[in-house]
Structure 1
């Protein structure tokens, strides 16, 4: 019997690889083939998942974070179809977890530092770049990223401020030759437009510290960006699903020629998950919290849809779950919480406790399916 574990990271608790390993840790049976596939949806863990499947090395890089503080981070360099490829996680540079969101930070936070990293990666000679957008803490329409690359905004270049606050004009001429050197793919897990009722400001701004007044102003400024881009570059970002991802980063990247691709579907192919699952008897997936947002392209939904396509049963695990979880409910055999009873948040996210709970649940679930052939180590 073949069992594949493709569990997304539990943010703040454990990585995908750790959770997969923990699920199988107490299992020992010659009749079970246990396969771990580290996975992600374009947010935290994207580099680790691709490195586990493709190899490569991490390259250190210096930049600034979303509030302009010095930052040393890293990106992955690997080979995909023989092409030197870089994988960058936006959240490592401009992540929401790097700040305490407030009405002040949402107006200050800029994607400029991500633009600096992207420029360094392009000039390093990488021919292809995957940029994961999940988990960002910025809401600047991606204008900071463009400035970090070298574009002129409001007649200036190299501006670290949140340029959405006072946007008037944009000139991409200084970076056109730079962009011709590389193929860019932005990994998104939402399909929101750039501006309007479902744009980045009203939908994602509240979790980044925005008040009603601030978000209304940002949405108006985003509409101004739309107008300028339509007039100058004949591109309507509001007709492009995913342009509102990561505080408008999706739109900014599309403007400079990036392909916006669904995070899970792209990473799933890169790590060859469909091929690995082809002859499986059971697939285990999950994420830290399963709720209505899981429907928006998160790992458990993607794995469940793959299982349905391959006619393989899927079971999901989580640290917590909402009462209503959308389509996932009908696609999996069950959704199981790893907690054995009421616990504090601190206990729930504790690294060792999480792995122990996952390990215990792994034994219980696999005994349900393979009681006759299962021994625990």
Structure 2
């Protein structure tokens, strides 16, 4: 009888229904239902640098720290970040402070929303003792080129009367001067890394306002206003920093998170693919060495998954180590041929399941997601038992 392979579960979240940890647990429980309670898979939650990055760090042993910060419209909110004392590393998600998830569709305000809370999170990380700060860009409701973040960190953005400028990207057109001399000097001695998977510059037709503004509620007129405002602000900031115009604004990733990428670059941040950073934080590659089969996945498996998202990164890493990779998802839009080419031996999708005489519906899957994922876990166990090598 063939030995059952060792299994690593390395999944991202099912957005809106199951966290990475919850998804991992449900798959493991389903496999145990089929194989017996003594079966113990390896578990290493993953993320791609966006939401879920802090959760993955916490699962890897970081501790949670809560901090009072400003929300996207300046309202007080409690935001979390992850911190590991031995390495003095903090992991921050910008969406915790200024994320779209903190607003309903009627509240979206790309012109007036601010990243001030992101700066407050960075200050909280510095206060905790961080010497290495990782910031995950993604899911922001803002388009202020990181001006709010910079203000929280000590940068002055002043109007014609020498008064501090009000919050929001739209107000930046009224800036007369930027003064970086008050920037928190602790930033000079930290290693600052940004998890970013977009290559957009700050300005123009491929920039922060044009590409991402509409999904944050910006009208066509507001997109034009924001693009002018970001250009004006970026020129003033680069002037005060003593660098050539467009030194930071034309760099790849400057337009990420409504231009937060630009401000991070100005602070000396290094931009890296989110998946690579998350794998380092969680020790994924070391855990992978002990597995024969990897189970990965996320809510929807589609072409976007293959453009640098977590499951694609897992499949590539597993293939490099000659490991088998299975995918779990809510819905699958990849053909079998496309999935196999991407490194997925087989895809197990909740919405492809037959349950009690009918195909599972989206509404059913969202109502009790763990139940259906457990059933998929059991199906995977049977599949591996029938084809262990």
What TM-score do you get using the length of structure 2 for normalisation?
0.85
Aligned partners of 2:297 and 2:311 also within 8 Å:
yes
Partner of 1:49: 56
1:140 paired to 2:148? no
In structure 2, list runs of 5 or more residues that go unmatched.
Answer: 354-358
Partner of 2:385: 370
Aligned partners of 2:158 and 2:165 also within 8 Å:
no
Number of residue pairs matched?
367
Matched residues in 2 for 1:265 and 1:197: separation? Answer: 29
1:270 paired to 2:281? yes
Structure 1 residue 252: deviation in Å? 0.6
Closer, same or farther: CA 130–372 of 1 in aligned 2, 3 Å: closer
Partner of 1:78: 84
Cα offsets for 1:312-344 (capped at 9, x unmatched): 221222222335899756212233321233534
Aligned partners of 1:3 and 1:32 also within 8 Å:
no
Equivalent in 108, 111, 118 of residue 107 of structure 1: 111
Structure 1 residue 163: deviation in Å? 3.7
Partner of 1:35: 42
Aligned partners of 1:304 and 1:328 also within 8 Å:
no
Aligned partners of 1:66 and 1:138 also within 8 Å:
yes
Partner of 2:218: 210
Cα offsets for 1:204-237 (capped at 9, x unmatched): 2222112222223322333334444454433623
Closer, same or farther: CA 372–42 of 1 in aligned 2, 3 Å: closer
Closer, same or farther: CA 25–148 of 1 in aligned 2, 3 Å: same
Matched residues in 2 for 1:158 and 1:301: separation? Answer: 45
Matched residues in 1 for 2:13 and 2:228: separation? Answer: 36
Matched residues in 2 for 1:367 and 1:325: separation? Answer: 20
Cα offsets for 1:145-164 (capped at 9, x unmatched): 11121211135686551044
Aligned partners of 1:77 and 1:87 also within 8 Å:
yes
Matched residues in 2 for 1:326 and 1:210: separation? Answer: 39
Q: How does 1:98-177 map to 2 (within 5 A)?
A: 98-101=102-105, 105-155=109-159, 159=165, 161-167=167-173, 168=175, 169-175=177-183, 177=185
Structure 1 residue 59: deviation in Å? 2.1
Equivalent in 318, 336, 341 of residue 348 of structure 2: 336
Matched residues in 1 for 2:113 and 2:196: separation? Answer: 20
Partner of 1:92: 96
Structure 1 residue 194: deviation in Å? 1.6
RMSD: 2.7
The alignment partner of 1:237 has SS state of coil
Structure 1 residue 56: deviation in Å? 3.7
Cα offsets for 1:235-282 (capped at 9, x unmatched): 623442222211111111110112222111111022111121124221
Aligned partners of 1:144 and 1:159 also within 8 Å:
no
The alignment partner of 2:252 has SS state of coil
Equivalent in 295, 303, 308 of residue 319 of structure 2: 308
Aligned partners of 1:102 and 1:208 also within 8 Å:
no
Matched residues in 1 for 2:172 and 2:234: separation? Answer: 14
